[in-house]
Structure 1
């Protein structure tokens, strides 16, 4: 090659270098741009005698600066940061709602039980009874308001899920198109469409902030993109479309799946968790939000059930047994949309036992012979037996009734406490029907010769059996010679509990029952205790109903005692402490998310800095490259000038 050709090759190489450096400078502030570097190589030398003469240079390729390890590290860090920040933005709303000292549940609970205590202190006055009903209605409104706010947050999550899925589909379509373009332009692997690859990587980065992304190399310089736990989204030039639908058992809950025609194949929520804003939304909804709704509902349902149970054991001002103070709380029952159209099965669940109530959701499945209720929290199963039912069956505090004809494979999701707060309502409006009195009264006649005394007495659930409800007077007579009591109802067992806590059951019809000082007696749901030493033929009477008991507050006192009684979670917590536990749970989760978000942001910043140190444009370095390529360009130009002059000399010599 002539000197002119060598100079020309250097000139062209320097020109490419100048253009590439200028391209780097122009795109220094473009998000996702990777610095490009000109890779030069020497041209093949020509043999000349016993040596080889160089023929100049050539541009081998324009290399895009890229580090696979740093890029994947950055994707992981940004996905975690997006998930933590998305989770925190949601849970902070719940935290603020529950912890508010004025609009939270605690003040309303305290006011309600203060109203109960005031009514118990003044059972004969309408004013105190009206105040009690007013605080009950305020408590009901507070439960419903909080439930509505949690539902609004859930609806907001649904809206964000829909928006995010639409964005994911848009990114997937663009990545698939770029895969197709890049594959068509990169048949020669030494010449890659760097700018298109930058655009594709930038789209993947933005997609990764929405949902965790896993990237693998495909054929012809394409990339295979998977999301979540490995669900394919883009393969080559083909992208799979996601779609939103409604849960099979809850139309208010948005789900995500693959779109196939006009159908959506639902994905489990866990498949899309683990990173990205979408993962944060799903983790929040299935974790903190569901838990908060269930725990709030547990307090509401537990309070309604326990208060109703105690209220039923009292006597109102009209002399009747207490009715429902709060409306029954019904479990949410979601019928699976895939159930047979031939099925007529109807499931109802009413919360009856606050102590046994859990915050878990349940699956109810019919296997062709039996309904099986499975607790989702631990997988424990209970068979509805018998089926068809002869009476409702109580499981974990919920009374289940099943009617109709089921079909094999029928499935229902039961959420006992999920909607309990929204369904918390006061059933009474007549103050005279508030049962503050006990339905029985006791008496120790002044004519007794001993110092024995009978307690004021109380009743339990068994008293509500019509066969046990007392309508008259039971008179117990003490026989000093035998040390026994007689006069107990002939049709009822008598359970005697001594001061040492040991109990003895005497079958119905036992004529005389031994007595020791301090013994407690239970028969037909009536509970009394006798203390002291009765005289021979001393009597003690128990009368029902409690005629003239308008000033009696014994049941009112028991209703007020529910505030400090351990009822929920197997008799381990009070209503107030259970709510406080829920507030603490959400607060801890919010704090964890806040701290986790800060740590994730710091990790993402570090990963980005490490990534930018390799792929980013350094303007100082590019300025130096401009000078270097300028000098090379000028030197190559000078070489061509000299070559031209030499050629002119040779031409002139031949003239």
Structure 2
């Protein structure tokens, strides 16, 4: 039975514990991630005395941690999104300043080049105008080269950031794993929750969420499993740590790193699954901004190279020779996957721009000298053939798509996929069985790729490649094909295929001083040749193609800026909600200190009174 002395003793112990908890709260008022604690004081089981229940005093049943798990989980998600948009916005503004600037940008140099075409068209025999055209083409080449170098430097920067972030994430995971162990051990030997360890773990997970998006799953032993990538990437499972690995891309010579993880025992690329945190922001920037800007810009440059070259082939230079390449034509190899077991060198895959049309021998390539170097069903090509090739070239340019290609060998056929979306594409094999495919206006020549094994994979980046290979091929101003073709009598020649031909005679150069071909080249500035719809109707000029690229860059920057501001507000609201619930209020704690101090003193007075009564009783007995 609890007497007065026992009750007083228990009470002093209870309020001493309450004072300790309050003092601990005050001491941690500035500790990041600390959740205030509260001593839960309960009444002891009463004692039955006769027909009455006499109280047994009080005790601290537990030290409660004031925390809301649902707010904490929301904080993890908001933190991951905030850091994602902050990282991607910071990088994206660099590209915006480089690519989308109006002064001395690629578009400005393209305009200067077109102006020089107009100048030469107006003065086709002027040596000064001819040299001006080559100078402006060279200036454009230099600027594209500089821009490509800057974008490549950004690629290196993202590689370094991804590598550093991978190390930081693994370090944070090790800390969480260690705290998990401490929590499990504490719960195994005690009955009270290790509140400070739980705070430390929550804070460690919150800091981890700044680097990568995560989901947490509490376990029965008190530990927490941590997954990334929407729960698809296990990082800590049953307190077993699976580190992320940052290593070179599976495709040789791609020049970038990827994030790998072991899932189900297999080492897989998981870069595309990471959507939050600084790592998610850098990866999103690389895919949605850097790659897209390079592909969009490269598409425009490929359109310019192809259209200029094929129009240049139509004309004749000052000496009456057929026009050759003005710019170096596109020719890019495939990148080989490191895991390929058959073909281990993508150089046997050649991707180029090679238009053809019914009746013209497939696979023929300019430049053409003298008479056109293309046979039509074994007959010399004519004016009509040459014009048809140009028309088909313009059509093919309109089919260019701003994407990268993944080519897989299934043991029988090559399958083409959009590298980013993994959409299965349908190329045209021409002729059948040749392993030469037409897709999105490009020719994929796989005819030399004998020996591919099932599962061999190759990557092709035709529009990024042109940024590094964009070059003026013609150096002699006299070889600029300003002259058109002399009118020829239209005949009724028909080849063995039955295709009607416009003329059976080889074309000849127009008179000296003629500007027809140069005027046609200059007119390409205003001709819509890019981004054809399903009906083959193009919707953009070459300069318009650049503007679309710049617009996409601007939209990405603005979108990330808006999201960043929104996430800052959401995150701050969640922090305020957490602090209002879990944070330490010095005013409240000061009031608690006073209240518990008074209760402690009153409890001590109970003991003193009990002792005084006992002494009185002794005095009476000794009497």
TM-score, scaled relative to structure 2: 0.86
Against the structure 1 CA distance between its residues 89 and 131, is the aligned structure 2 distance closer, same or farther, given a 3 Å change threshold?
Answer: same
In 2, Cα distance between equivalents of 1:249 and 1:74? 37
How many Å apart are 1:388 and its aligned residue? 6.2
Q: 1:257 aligns with which of 230, 255, 260?
A: 260
Which residue is 2:319 aligned to? 318
In 2, Cα distance between equivalents of 1:433 and 1:83? 53
Is 1:562 aligned to residue 524 of structure 2?
yes
Deviations 1:612-647 (Å, cap 9, x if unpaired)?
111111111001001011101111111111122222
Is 1:621 aligned to residue 583 of structure 2?
no
In 1, Cα distance between equivalents of 2:325 and 2:26? 78
Deviations 1:51-103 (Å, cap 9, x if unpaired)?
23222211111111111222222222222222222221122222222221113
Contact 1:88–1:590 (Cα < 8 Å) also in 2: yes
Which residue is 2:139 aligned to? 138
Which residue is 1:421 aligned to? 467
Contact 1:362–1:374 (Cα < 8 Å) also in 2: yes
How many Å apart are 1:507 and its aligned residue? 5.5
Deviations 1:298-322 (Å, cap 9, x if unpaired)?
0111101110111111111222111
Is 1:640 aligned to residue 607 of structure 2?
yes
Query: Where do 1:431-442 residues align within 5 Å?
Result: 431-438=477-484, 440-441=485-486
How many Å apart are 1:654 and its aligned residue? 2.8
In 2, Cα distance between equivalents of 1:565 and 1:199? 64
Higher helix share: 2
Deviations 1:15-62 (Å, cap 9, x if unpaired)?
111111111111111110000000111222233232232222111111
Which residue is 2:445 aligned to? 401
Query: Where do 1:22-421 residues align within 5 Å?
Result: 22-187=23-188, 190-230=191-231, 231-249=233-251, 251-258=254-261, 265-273=267-275, 275-331=276-332, 333-341=334-342, 346-352=348-354, 353-376=396-419, 378-382=423-427, 384-386=429-431, 389=434, 393-402=437-446, 403-409=448-454, 410-421=456-467
Deviations 1:268-300 (Å, cap 9, x if unpaired)?
333211x22222222222212211110000011
Against the structure 1 CA distance between its residues 385 and 112, is the aligned structure 2 distance closer, same or farther, given a 3 Å change threshold?
Answer: closer
SS in 2 for 1:602: helix
Contact 1:331–1:351 (Cα < 8 Å) also in 2: no
Deviations 1:343-376 (Å, cap 9, x if unpaired)?
6671011134422221122222223333333345
In 1, Cα distance between equivalents of 2:14 and 2:499? 111
SS in 2 for 1:75: helix
Q: 1:649 aligns with which of 595, 605, 616?
A: 616
Contact 1:255–1:266 (Cα < 8 Å) also in 2: no
Against the structure 1 CA distance between its residues 638 and 223, is the aligned structure 2 distance closer, same or farther, given a 3 Å change threshold?
Answer: same
In 2, Cα distance between equivalents of 1:397 and 1:341? 28
In 1, Cα distance between equivalents of 2:449 and 2:73? 56
**Please, which runs of 5 or more residues in structure 2 have no aligned partner?**
355-395, 533-537
Aligned residues: 565
Contact 1:179–1:236 (Cα < 8 Å) also in 2: no
In 1, Cα distance between equivalents of 2:576 and 2:135? 61
Against the structure 1 CA distance between its residues 56 and 592, is the aligned structure 2 distance closer, same or farther, given a 3 Å change threshold?
Answer: same
Against the structure 1 CA distance between its residues 342 and 95, is the aligned structure 2 distance closer, same or farther, given a 3 Å change threshold?
Answer: closer
Contact 1:332–1:418 (Cα < 8 Å) also in 2: no
Contact 1:301–1:420 (Cα < 8 Å) also in 2: yes
In 1, Cα distance between equivalents of 2:193 and 2:458? 56
Higher strand share: 1
**Please, which runs of 5 or more residues in structure 1 have no aligned partner?**
442-456, 458-473, 477-487, 494-504, 509-521, 527-542
Contact 2:427–2:437 (Cα < 8 Å) also in 1: no
SS in 1 for 2:22: helix
Against the structure 1 CA distance between its residues 601 and 110, is the aligned structure 2 distance closer, same or farther, given a 3 Å change threshold?
Answer: same
In 2, Cα distance between equivalents of 1:264 and 1:28? 46
Contact 1:161–1:278 (Cα < 8 Å) also in 2: yes
In 1, Cα distance between equivalents of 2:6 and 2:542? 92
SS in 1 for 2:210: helix
How many Å apart are 1:194 and its aligned residue? 0.7
SS in 2 for 1:563: coil
How many Å apart are 1:565 and its aligned residue? 0.9
In 1, Cα distance between equivalents of 2:412 and 2:226? 46
Against the structure 1 CA distance between its residues 28 and 507, is the aligned structure 2 distance closer, same or farther, given a 3 Å change threshold?
Answer: closer
SS in 1 for 2:472: coil
How many Å apart are 1:422 and its aligned residue? 1.9
Contact 1:297–1:418 (Cα < 8 Å) also in 2: yes
Deviations 1:550-571 (Å, cap 9, x if unpaired)?
x221111111111111111123
SS in 2 for 1:419: helix
In 2, Cα distance between equivalents of 1:395 and 1:227? 37
Query: Where do 1:436-585 residues align within 5 Å?
Result: 436-438=482-484, 440-441=485-486, 457=487, 488=490, 491=493, 522-524=502-504, 544-546=508-510, 549=512, 551-570=513-532, 571-585=538-552
TM-score, scaled relative to structure 1: 0.82
How many Å apart are 1:650 and its aligned residue? 2.2
Against the structure 1 CA distance between its residues 246 and 507, is the aligned structure 2 distance closer, same or farther, given a 3 Å change threshold?
Answer: closer
In 2, Cα distance between equivalents of 1:264 and 1:308? 48
SS in 1 for 2:427: strand
How many Å apart are 1:235 and its aligned residue? 2.3
Is 1:602 aligned to residue 604 of structure 2?
no
Against the structure 1 CA distance between its residues 19 and 507, is the aligned structure 2 distance closer, same or farther, given a 3 Å change threshold?
Answer: closer
In 1, Cα distance between equivalents of 2:188 and 2:415? 61
In 2, Cα distance between equivalents of 1:574 and 1:419? 21
In 2, Cα distance between equivalents of 1:179 and 1:43? 34
